[in-house]
């Protein structure tokens, strides 16, 4: 058996997330494993760096899999791109050492939350950015985000789910960069790991700060409370994109 690592992008709009649902729901994992079956002529399991939820995009999702094949990594990449549907594309395929595991070997991940901040909605970004037509104060958002950087218990920002909530809720956020690019605002968060819906719950809380509904200095108390009810609404899935996974 050889071990492979692929980097791929997908437009999450038409997927019920990464993870196979076994219910006839369209998922990235099912599409990928369906093509593995075509190429390798036997079932091959795709392990992602982590699940992405329904509607969430990826520009740099990483997947590992084991297969007995004589194909070169580049040939696998070409075969995948030849068979995968148009809303999934493979950037890179590499053969890696046996011990590499797309989920367990993760060092850090970067997610981007994108906000379209202009007075009218966009036909082109409707599935790719949160439309927010009111003013947002970037320096307030940056100040609030600053309190989250470092090693903290992020239980406040974890959504409840019997399958996906974790008991160990301490994570280290390396960086949160908030920048404006014309009518878009990008919030880039890098951490050693994220809890369930953590990025979207932080993004929703930063929006409340940027719009003036919450003061930046309330952030430390919200964080310390370890109580989901203290944070603000979860920002919608379609503004979120998994940008990079580092190993």
Closest by Cα among 50, 49, 69 to 3: 69
Pairing of the two strands 130-131 and 108-116: parallel
| Active-site hit among 11, 30, 53, 188 | 53
CB of 103 to a second copy, least distance (A): 22
Q: CB-wise, 4 or 196, nearer to a second copy?
A: 4
Residues 49, 100: Cα–Cα separation, whole Å:
11
3-state secondary structure of 205: helix
Instruction: Give Cα 184 distance to the centre of its chain.
Output: 18
Is residue 156 within 8 Å of 225, Cβ to Cβ?
Answer: yes
How near is the Cβ of 17 to a second copy at its closest, in Å? Answer: 15
- Of residues 84 and 185, the one with the C-beta less far from a second copy: 84
- Eight-class DSSP state of 86: T
Nearer to a second copy, 90 or 96 (CB): 90
Kindly tell me which of 8 and 141 has the beta carbon lying closer to a second copy.
8
Give the pair of three-digit tokens for residue 55.
């509607």
**CA separation, residue 159 to residues 9, 86, 141, 169, 219 (Å):** 25, 32, 22, 11, 18
Q: Tell me if residue 233 is catalytic.
A: no
* Overall residue count recorded for the chain in this entry: 247
Residues lying near a second copy in the complex (CB under 8 A) are found at 9-11, 57, 59, 77, 81, 86-91, 120-124, 126, 128
Catalytic positions, please?
53
């Amino acid at each position: 058996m050889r071990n492979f690592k692929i980097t791929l992008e997908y437009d999450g709009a038409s997927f019920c997330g990464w993870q196979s649902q076994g219910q006839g729901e369209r998922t990235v994992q099912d599409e990928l494993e369906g093509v593995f079956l075509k190429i390798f002529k036997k079932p091959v399991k795709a392990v992602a760096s982590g699940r992405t939820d329904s509607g969430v995009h990826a520009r740099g999702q990483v997947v590992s899999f084991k297969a007995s094949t004589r194909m070169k990594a580049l040939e696998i990449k070409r075969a995948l791109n030849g068979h995968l549907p148009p809303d999934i594309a493979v950037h890179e395929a590499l053969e890696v050492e046996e011990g590499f595991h797309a989920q367990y070997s993760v060092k850090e991940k970067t997610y981007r939350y994108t906000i379209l901040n202009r007075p009218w909605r966009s036909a082109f970004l409707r599935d790719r950015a949160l439309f927010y037509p009111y003013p947002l104060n970037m320096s307030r958002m940056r100040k609030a985000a600053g309190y989250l950087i470092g090693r903290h218990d992020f239980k406040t920002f974890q959504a409840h789910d019997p399958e996906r909530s974790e008991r160990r809720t301490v994570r280290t956020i390396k960086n949160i960069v908030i920048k404006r690019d014309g009518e878009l605002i990008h919030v880039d968060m890098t951490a050693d790991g994220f809890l369930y819906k953590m990025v979207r719950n932080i993004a929703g809380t930063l929006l409340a700060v940027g719009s003036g509904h919450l003061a930046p200095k309330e952030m430390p108390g919200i964080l310390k409370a370890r109580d989901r009810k203290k944070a603000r609404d979860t920002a919608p899935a379609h503004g979120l994109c998994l940008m990079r996974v580092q190993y």
